[in-house]
Amino acid sequence: MNQLGAFALIVGGLAAIWATIRGLQAWQANNPKFTRQAQMGIYGAFGAVTLAVLLLLYQLVTNNFVNEYVASYTSRALPLYYKLSALWAGQAGSLLLWLWLITIFAVIFIARHRDDYPELMPVMVAVFGFTALLFFGLTIFVTSPFETLNFLPRDGNGMNPLLQNWGMIIHPPLLYLGYVGWTVPFAFLISALVTKNLKSNWLKQARPWTIMAWLFLALGNLIGAQWAYVELGWGGYWAWDPVENASLMPWLLATAFVHSQIMQERRGLFKFWNASLLLFTFLFSIFGTYLTRSGVLQSVHAFGDSQMGPYFLVFMGIVLFGGIGLIISRRKELSAVNEVQSVVSREGTVLLSNIFFTAMTLTVLWGTMYPLTSRWFFGASRTVDISYFNDLNVPLGIFILFLTGIGPLIAWRKAKKSNFVRHFSVPIAAGVAMVIVLALFGITELYPLLTFGLAAFVFIGIIQEFLKGTLATMARTEKNAFQSLVILLGSARRRYGGYIIHLGVVMIFIGIAGSSAYNVEKEVKLAPGESLTLNNYKLTYADFESSQNALKWSGVAVLDVEKNGKYVGQIRPEKAKFFKSEQPMSEVALRMTLSEDLYVVLGGFDENRNIWLTVRINPLINWMWIGGIFLILGTVIALFPETDKTQPQKKKQRALRDLDVETLISELSELEIDYAEGKIDASDYHEEYEAYSDVDPWIKNAAIARAKQNGNGHSPATVDNDSILYCSSCGVELPVDARFCSHCGEQMQA
């Protein structure tokens, strides 16, 4: 079985080589037959890796301890769900999962777009194959999951107790999905650069993959923080550990790219910057894997020393220098169609946010790599204190929160005083009021005060946008508030899905500020019957219980909890001794509410059942996890803005449209919406519109239709009544009661 698994990886590696070479040949010869053959190579690689994964999973579940990997990370007593998650518990298995996910993403993409993007597809297949080759090389030559022992152990070593948590089942796969997910946008980028097909809207076609990868990275980081919070017992959730930072850095760059991508789609801005940003987002995804597995830095999360560092360095070098060379060679094609007219505009806020996200990434990178760079330059390894990360990144984060509130409200191109008065008055008032109220209650620390005030500013600004849109939709459709909200979300999913994501970000900031600035902690020794008080809590040591199962022996302290003099229940912190490990483990006990967590750790006990406790109160921390739910909800809404299941005859995918046309339609529709919503005045509107006097009428008509669909119910400036209906895709004038465009098949929205 292990020989079959190793053979499957070799076959898969050969298939990946075939896909890479044949893809490049298909591009050079412009031969669709070669493209099909390259795609079949990817299918072959996927089949081979899938067989290898199934063989390893079977051995994990059936306790085949002759397999070295199985013996190292499982035991007979380990529950089934942990045996399955042992696939990514070790170095070799996690790399196999990485490889499997690459082939899954590639196969899904090829299956959905087999006949699409004829110019881009050959190079994209070659990129998929080349990326997979890195992990084939690692799993075949460096750390195979199918190595065998020369004896059969009676039992395995079991899983590290730190990994025996529900987070082990979810957190690593989410991060891997986030890392691997950037392979598809990266393949789009390289294929567009190689083929010089940079005027097509490849960026728009890559957007769903971009958003999914961004979400997986965000959730992976958030769930990882929650896992650390409940498992490590120190009361925090982010220690600026090298491996934590390795997953944060690509997310920061990805967040910058997600925003600047919109600027390129709608206004033709930041083309060169976006290409560079996407290149480095993918590169940092590989870099994060390198830090985790190469052994160059020490971390509680790392897999230890290995011989795979050179493989990663060679791959990253090819990606870095090859990507930079391509971008520089295509700098003329990557020149912007427009310019940022004013910093005081939506484009300006995105530009500033990109600067801050990049600054945070560089700050984290320098602090993470300092032990290594100091060894190179000073001959001894030095580290930076956690205060380095906090002192530099907290103010940058606060600036980003500020821009999060400005972006949705400010006008495109340049904002006027009337725009500020109309759209910012209420949110600013809310933010100032929040600061005053908190100051009156004694909260005077600068950073928390700024964070809570800006959170109110952003929150009210977003709610204001939802309220305006819902009321306008109610007036136009005569539907109730809920129905109008649903119509609003359906007509501009990307915009309002983004607003919901921003609400989630606000909640995460609130959780970070509250739990970081206002936590309190107390360490105490208690005898049975004794009590401790912390703030408005009183904990009484009621009993001590012990239990045992096949995995561990546990001692549990039973504590009665009172809050404000009222009994609210019991809390049961635990100290466990796993039979397969010499290290005792603390299982945190939590009492969770929206306002705070009561966090209790049993540090130890003696033969007289005296216990040592660490009790901590973490205010507002659960808003972080709630914010994660909003990230998911907003992403789901924003992900597929043009999904249409009512047209079974509609083609799977339209041909790529010239980006300049899409840019013009988007620019004109945003201009119409800005004027209708009062973000620019009449003189600015007419001055801006004059620049489009030579644009084809059908483009103007499509922009009008899109503005009517995506605006807050206002009529575009160039339409005097609602008796004219245009298709938002091709601009053809239609009967007012038309459900579909007779020219292109686009569905008309109500």
Q: Output the pLDDT for position 305.
A: 52
Tokens of 66: 């002759």
Element (H, E) at 516: helix 493-517
Is residue 144 within 8 A of residue 64, CB to CB? The reply is: no
Give residue 546's identity as a one-letter amino acid code: S
**DSSP output for 359-379:** HHHHHHHHHHHHHHHHHHHHS
The Cα 666–Cα 71 span in angstroms is: 58
- Per-residue exposure over 712-743, b if at least 16 CB sit within 10 Å of its own CB, e if not: bbbbbbbbeeeeebbbbbbbbebeeeeebbee
Q: Output the pLDDT for position 398.
A: 96
Which positions ≥6 away from 566 have C-beta within 8 Å?
none
Give residue 319's identity as a one-letter amino acid code: V
Tokens of 584: 């005792």
Which positions ≥6 away from 691 have C-beta within 8 Å?
none
Q: Output the pLDDT for position 267.
A: 78
Is residue 179 within 8 A of residue 130, CB to CB? The reply is: no
Q: Output the pLDDT for position 711.
A: 56
The Cα 506–Cα 133 span in angstroms is: 41
- The number of angstroms, rounded, from the C-alpha of 505 to the middle of its chain's C-alpha atoms is 12
Q: Output the pLDDT for position 341.
A: 79
Give 630-652 as a 3 state SS string.
HHHHHHHHHHCCCCCCCCCCCCC
- The number of angstroms, rounded, from the C-alpha of 460 to the middle of its chain's C-alpha atoms is 25
**DSSP output for 3-29:** HHHHHHHHHHHHHHHHHHHHHHHHHHH
Give residue 131's identity as a one-letter amino acid code: T
Element (H, E) at 403: helix 386-406
Which positions ≥6 away from 118 have C-beta within 8 Å?
32, 35
Profile the chain (750 residues) by mean pLDDT over runs of 10 residues: 95 97 95 95 97 97 96 94 95 95 97 88 97 96 94 92 90 95 96 86 86 95 93 88 92 95 84 95 93 69 65 95 96 83 87 96 94 81 88 96 91 75 90 95 92 97 90 83 87 86 96 94 95 95 92 93 95 91 87 95 92 96 96 87 40 41 70 69 70 73 72 48 54 54 51
Of 723, 707, 712, 726, which Cα lies nearest the Cα of 668? 707
Count of beta carbons in the 10 Å neighbourhood of residue 44: 18
Residues forming beta bridges with residue 611, ordered by sequence position: 526, 605
Count of beta carbons in the 10 Å neighbourhood of residue 76: 12
The Cα 223–Cα 655 span in angstroms is: 39
Q: Output the pLDDT for position 248.
A: 95
Count of beta carbons in the 10 Å neighbourhood of residue 28: 10
| Count of positions (residues) in the chain | 750
Q: Output the pLDDT for position 650.
A: 38
Residues forming beta bridges with residue 586, ordered by sequence position: 575
The Cα 711–Cα 722 span in angstroms is: 14
- The number of angstroms, rounded, from the C-alpha of 678 to the middle of its chain's C-alpha atoms is 34
The Cα 133–Cα 56 span in angstroms is: 20
Is residue 460 within 8 A of residue 468, CB to CB? The reply is: no
- The number of angstroms, rounded, from the C-alpha of 169 to the middle of its chain's C-alpha atoms is 18
The Cα 320–Cα 325 span in angstroms is: 8
Q: How far is CA 377 from CA 108, 171, 299, 373, 380, in A?
A: 46, 36, 22, 6, 8
Of 667, 670, 663, 666, which Cα lies nearest the Cα of 712? 670
Tokens of 236: 């925090």
Give residue 547's identity as a one-letter amino acid code: S
DSSP state letter for 745:
-
The Cα 443–Cα 415 span in angstroms is: 34
Give residue 11's identity as a one-letter amino acid code: V
Q: What angle do CA 366, 360, 308 make, to 5 degrees?
A: 45
Of 543, 552, 630, 620, which Cα lies nearest the Cα of 587? 552
The Cα 55–Cα 668 span in angstroms is: 56
SS3 304: coil
- Per-residue exposure over 579-613, b if at least 16 CB sit within 10 Å of its own CB, e if not: ebbeeebbbbbebeeeebbbbbbbbebeeeeebbb
**DSSP output for 89-135:** TSHHHHHHHHHHHHHHHHHHHHHHSTTS-TTTHHHHHHHHHHHHHHH
The Cα 128–Cα 34 span in angstroms is: 15
3-state helix, strand, coil in the chain (%, to 5): 60, 10, 30
Give residue 370's identity as a one-letter amino acid code: Y
The Cα 594–Cα 423 span in angstroms is: 30
Terminal C-alpha separation, the chain:
59
